[in-house]
Structure 1
Amino acid sequence: MPELPEVQAIADFVDGRAAGLPIRRVDVASLAVLKTADPPYTALAGRTIESVTRIGKYLVMTTAGDDPGPIHLIIHLSRAGWLRWSDNLSPAPPRPGGKGPIALRVHCGLPGEGFDVTEAGTQKRLAVWIVRDPSEVERIKTLGPDVLSLSRDELAELLKTSGSRIKTVLTDQRILSGVGNAYSDEILHTAKLSPFATSKTMTHEQVDALYSAIGEVLRDAIGRLEGQQVARLKGEKRSGLRVHARTGLPCPVCGDTVREVSFTDRSFQYCPNCQTGGKVLADRRMSRLLK
């Protein structure tokens, strides 16, 4: 799933190419991705892209037209969505309801310029909203503060009032926005914290370590992804991971074996030596963790 660093990199990449360009046409290959109907997606044609930014893990494309006020195209890539920029887009619209990965196509600038919003796999969770105000999107309105916007004291207060497992705090977008499964694994490993640690009982030193790790892990990822082509972001993300998706491999810090806790359709990874005092976590405890 694209998380804060990847969504920021995609936003920067597309903003650098599309800002100032007119939208010539929008093609919708999967009506199921559209979560709003007013304004219609056809209202974007003829408008100019002002900027592409990020709110949490949501891409926000702001457009301007002859009418007062902006219209925003908001995209949540979910677990298997992606954005693919092209200077050679086909002028033919993608087939509605087709089996291909394309859900939405935006033609902007010169003929052939624009991007596809795609989704792989069978679990279709990609979502697109077209709104006059981002707060009209309920999932954005209920987002917690951006994880990189918090001071150390603000983080400490949030942890104290939450009472959830620290893994849950980091990944629940209603508590903190921007971090998902992969970077929460990396943050907890860097902070040397167990995923099952309870947030409200964390010591002063543990809060310091967590705050430092959040900034270190996310800003390092943002720096590594800066200026990269969108097509290379996934590979660059994987190359920087130390424990996530590395089950069975040696921890790059201590050499212990990276372990996994799995449940339903996802899993998380950790290093017992670095994070849990050598204790191997049991999967049966997962039911009380992430939702």
Structure 2
Amino acid sequence: MKPLKLTLLFAICTVIFNCSSSDLDDNNGLTQQQFTGDFFPLNMGNTWNYEVQNTDNDTNQTVISTDFIEVESQTNTGFSLSVNQNGIPNGIMSGILTSGALTRTETTLISNGTVELPIDGFDLQIELENALLYNTQAANGELLSTQSGVFTQDFEEYPITINYTLTSTQLANLETLTVDNTTYNSITSANISLTLSVTTEVTFGITQTIPILDDTTPVLSVNSYYAEDIGLVKAEAIGGYTLNANTVSILEGIGVDLSQLPTSLSVLNNQTLISYSVTQ
């Protein structure tokens, strides 16, 4: 099973088949160089190998592993990628890319799939389709897509309400980027961010709604970098949350077992390309 699947709402830009560049004002009043080209080659048999470093900030422990991604099949809806021979992805972006069918234009990468909530104890998935992972002609800082929704679930017989907002934002287009001592040319980058607000109801004479998780910071934020004619070369992910301390005290005081729900989590999940084999 692939535990992390993500796609975002999608927009398709004009397809331009010859690589070119121009200037575009970004949100900071600077200029964003525009690219067109193949920033994720999706031919059958293309492969990418990544080193993945997963760091628990609470313990300062880092686990190093690898991911092997391959273009596995092609259907009417796009290309499907597998990770670790249909195993578990170690990189968060590996999970995103292998979550569903991928299609691309000369300016965009589009996907379909789901994303699981990154909190132990909750078994919910966000169903998304026609997702935009980057747009090489968008401004630096431009919001590419946003989606919000509500889930409900029982936890220890208490009703839980989860409000989520999922966004994608275009980041900088770069002339070069050095990853693992290799310099790549023509880079596009984008961010994926997931924010949650989680509440429950308790009764002390009257029924009250109390926050389990405040929505002040994203529980997941991923910056990804794609090189022309190569694909994903680097991804930097930050995940974490802190439960509302007052709510934890209230729930523990009335006997709710929170042992399966850590009160806080802070992890870094970075992956870097170490080898690849692609055809155009």
TM-score by length of 1: 0.26
Which structure features the higher share of helix residues?
1
TM-score by length of 2: 0.27
- Which structure has more RCO (C-alpha within 8 Å, separation ≥ 6)? 2
Which structure features the higher share of strand residues?
2
